[in-house]
Chains A and B, each alone.
Chain A
Amino acid sequence: MRTMGGFSQMKLAVNFLTIGLVILSLPCGSYTEIPPKPPGSLTVLPPVKPAGGPQAFPDAENSNLPAFTMDYARIQVPFEVTLWVLLASFAKIGFHVYHKITFWVPESCLLISIGLIVGAIMHSVHEEPPAVLSYNVFFLFMLPPHRTGVWILYAPRDRSSRTWEPVLWFAVVGTLWNSIGIGMSLYAVCQIEAFEVQDINLQENMLFAAIISAVDPVAVLSVFEDVSVNEQLYIVVFGECLFNDAVTVVLYNMFIFVADMPVVEPVDVFLGVARFFVVGLGGMGFGVIFGFVASFTTRFTSNVREIEPLFIFMYSYLAYLVAELFSISSIMAIVTCALTMKYYVEENVSQRSCTTIRHVVKMLGTISETLIFFFLGVVTITTEHEWNWGYIMFTLLLALVWRGLGVLVLTQIINPFRTIPFNFKDQFILGYGGLRGAISFALVFTLPDSIGRKKLFVTTTICMIMFTVFIQGISIRPLIEFINVRRTNRNLETINVEIHSRLIEHTIAGVEDLCGQWSHYYWKDKFLKFNNRILRKIPIRDNRAESSIVALYKKLELQNAMGILDTVSGDINAGSSIVPLHEEKKSSGKPKRKFVAADLMNMHDILSKNMYKIRQRTTAYTTKHSLPNDSRTKEILIRRHTSIRRSLGPGSFNGPNEAKSQKYFSLPPGKSLDSKFPPQRLRHTGNDDDETMSEMDYPSARSRFNQPSRSSSRAMLPLRRLNTLTEVPSSSVVDLVDERSGGRGAWGRGMSRLNSSSSDSRIPAPRRHHDPSNGPDNGSSGDHGSGDNGPEGEQQPLSPTPAWAAEPGDRDDSGTQKPLLRPQWKTRKP
């Protein structure tokens, strides 16, 4: 162990040497280039040719053909940018060579420190900070990838978590609270004569407070992730990261307007509030629109897979730029755009494009984050400061106090609505985790020069950032450990935990269903319905009402597959504490580590378990419409029940190989599914293509595709068929596909196949056709859904989806189809 440590220290030293070299090369390089405006340094360059003329050869008047030319001015900007990025990246490598550094000191601290060093060097040689640092550059090029990157890098693992409600609450209201509170009290502080800052008026104070209250706890997030604090806390901080800079930018724009006004009238206050909403909601609107258009575009990119990712990036960026154009919240725009696209695009683009998109976003996000903190360090040294003890100290103090107060008050308000209320420790960490970062830094530099105390503001902001990032950032980890904040056991170390947790989740889902707890998700449910009915039709290529479960499942598969890829290829980031893809911390990630590569199969177990879980959770969301409260539907259900049971009865005891089958669905010996249905099973595993399989096995089903009219299929409703349908539990079909494709490494293909087969059989269209005709046609079934495929239950054997589908678009079948599964369950009832 010691030798290992020594070794990595050595490597670290080597790396720092490399960085040092780059640092050295940098000022030298820029020495020649930055001052191209003063003519003095231009003499260094060969005056042979005018800048911009790439043709060195055709210069006829030159006596000799120059053997060596140098035109630095031409490449200056990209050259510098590249060097800076490289430098920052080297620094990043350096940190991760020696893990203990990043464990105790957040990466942002290290980056700032290096920035400080570089800044000091540059300062000592009287070098200007690079032009890269113009603030347009920051807002137009560095912020967007950073923000989207945050979303991808730190997105919480559990999307279906019930902890999302407080996010907006803290992000929006919290930020407002902070900026107003800090602004007011700072103004009060300014009245104290001893500090000599009476010239700062209320508007400027408010403006400054808005800048200061932009919490940017990326560093905290990575700490949270390492120590795996409970999900709630994580999500709240994550949400703050994403949304509150949007709020801040809105406030900033508002106050900067107000600060110019000599007198603020009440009307302006109202206008300001209105503007707040316009800016915020406008940003979201643009995001949604662009996201939607992008999704629509990807509908047509199936033949140009190479540029698919490009569309995604360009549209997101466009959303950002357009939002900037109208000076509405561009961060909001790009985040919502990304979210909207994520929702639709992943189904259109190929797996490869998906992977590309993810990785590029990840890369851009990381590098811009690195650069931002790096520059923060550089600029700290190279700008002029105005130091005012009183003002700075009070700002630090007030920011802490107001943040603490805000968290306390806001949690008091929100706690009654929560399953698990935030306890005091949570609140403390939440308050303490209010680090300031990139946004404050950028905003304060964009302050117009008309503000008299700009330098003071800059200094104070930098102090604030330094203080929070260094002191709070470094101490938060020991603090969390010390006060023992509630943790979520993100690292499922034992199989026991894995299994039992899953059992618990199923149970909870079941009990929720049992209590009919749906109204909690009423609006989500409504939206999903609307989405499936109308919205999805436009952007999604294969125009089918795909069950959201299948979509989720697909997504999960993809993520897992990528997780495997990442670990297998030894992605450098995988080792880093700061940049795990969120899929890497999925529960499947842990067993992976434990079982190593040899037990790849066990991962598939866990995959399939995940699959079950997702189905259940989604069911829990969307059960509203499927509650069979209609008495006639219930009758049908019962009748179908009994008939299936009858039909199943005789068939269930003729299996020849009962011995090995007892575990399937935990049937008691002698009643196993396996023994009942050996032929289908074998066929499944032997066959390569699901599509053909289903055609072969269920020839009559094929006819359904062409016959939206249900009468014929109803006519051919023999009891025998009922028997077949229960034979292949739909979930098993899915599982098989999953397993096979997973085994072959062709996740994507497997999934798409599964998907297409299911979509074929789903055909939402027929159902809609029936709706009107159903009543007369099928008097006994009041519910159209059950009338459609209920009694016949034909969809069951074909498609894995229906049995899963409890989402609103298909709620009708789900309500009625699920009982078809009943026989299996019945039989194993003890």
Chain B
Amino acid sequence: MGSRASTLLREEEIEEIKKETGFSHSQITRLYSRFTSLDKGENGTLSREDFQRIPELAINPLGDRIINAFFPEGEDQVNFRGFMRTLAHFRPIEDNEKNKDPTASEPLNSRSNKLLFAFRLYDLDRDDKISRDELLQVLRMMVGVNISDEQLGSIADRTIQEADQNGDNSISFNEFIKVLEKVDVEQKMSIRFLH
């Protein structure tokens, strides 16, 4: 399976992906074989259904949000490039990456990009604000049904109160960053991708 997959991926493509995402060669081929095994239509792209077929993702409370994050707005398919681009957010930050020249464009796995990824999971309508409703939706997904709506509502209110600085009753991305500034996001949002 793996060997078949790697033959399908052209060297130059790998190089491009490598440049764009920072994954290593072996990581890319490995993920490519995963990609093809998920790709039931065998057309080189993944649909939402392909993702939803992953059983663990199906029971992940945020499964659909995560899946959504892989799809650019308005699209129903994601190709390998896009797939890798999304995964690149979760690459751990390596030490030698930290002090690269600041002029280069920010890598996908930077702290703020990681945070932005998380932020987007809340922000469904992409207005760069987490409204109370959006927060409530995510909360509801995460806590299950035993908590009453009032309780959850008050939690959401409190959450927004805590984070909200400009009084618009929603959390902007800047406020989001501020709230999480003490959290070790670099570590928390990193996966050690297999080689």
Contact = CB atoms under 8 A, between A and B. Distances in A.
8 contacts: A487-B182, A488-B184, A499-B138, A500-B118, A504-B188, A511-B66, A729-B145, A732-B144
Given A506-B61, A507-B189, A818-B56, A423 B95 contact: yes
A620 B56 contact: yes
A514 to B, nearest CB: 6
B184 A486 contact: yes
A611 B54 CA distance: 21
B29 to A, nearest CB: 13
B162 A494 contact: yes
A513 B158 CA distance: 32
Contact of B192 (A419, A493, A664, A674): A419
Contacts of B87: 511, 515
A555 interface: no
Nearest to A732: B145
A637 interface: yes
A609 B142 contact: yes
Interface of A: 162, 230, 418-421, 423, 486-489, 493-497, 499-517, 519-520, 601-602, 604-605, 608-609, 611-612, 615-616, 619-620, 623, 626-629, 634, 637-638, 660, 663-666, 673-674, 681, 729, 731-732, 734-736, 738-739, 803-804, 806, 814-819, 821-822, 825-826, 828-830
Interface string B58-97: 1111111110100000000000000000010010100100
Contacts of A825: 52, 58, 63-64
A489 B184 contact: yes
Contacts of B25: none
A510 B86 CA distance: 13
- 6 nearest interchain CB pairs? A666-B137, A735-B146, A513-B56, A419-B192, A735-B144, A739-B146
B185 interface: yes
B17 interface: no
B191 A615 contact: no
A515 to B, nearest CB: 6
Contact of B142 (A419, A503, A821, A822): A503
Nearest to A418: B192
A497 B138 CA distance: 14
Contact of A732 (B40, B146, B186): B146
Given A508-B189, A511-B66, A830-B124, A499 B159 contact: yes
Interface string B37-56: 10010000000110111111
A515 B193 contact: yes
B55 A494 contact: no
Contacts of B124: 830
Given A495-B155, A619-B56, A819-B55, 12 more contacts: A496-B162, A500-B179, A503-B122, A511-B191, A602-B151, A602-B155, A605-B143, A616-B60, A626-B56, A663-B137, A731-B145, A735-B146
- Main SS at interface, chain A: helix
Interface of B: 31, 34, 37, 40, 48-49, 51-66, 68, 87, 90, 92, 95, 117-118, 121-122, 124, 135-147, 149, 151-152, 155, 158-159, 162-163, 171, 176, 179-180, 182-194
B57 A513 contact: yes
A374 B64 CA distance: 58
Nearest to B148: A601
Given A420-B92, A501-B188, A803-B59, A666 B182 contact: no
Nearest to B90: A511
A277 to B, nearest CB: 30
B159 A496 contact: yes
Contact of B31 (A515, A612, A620): A515
Given A504-B188, A666-B138, A497 B60 contact: no
Contacts of A162: 192
A739 B194 CA distance: 39
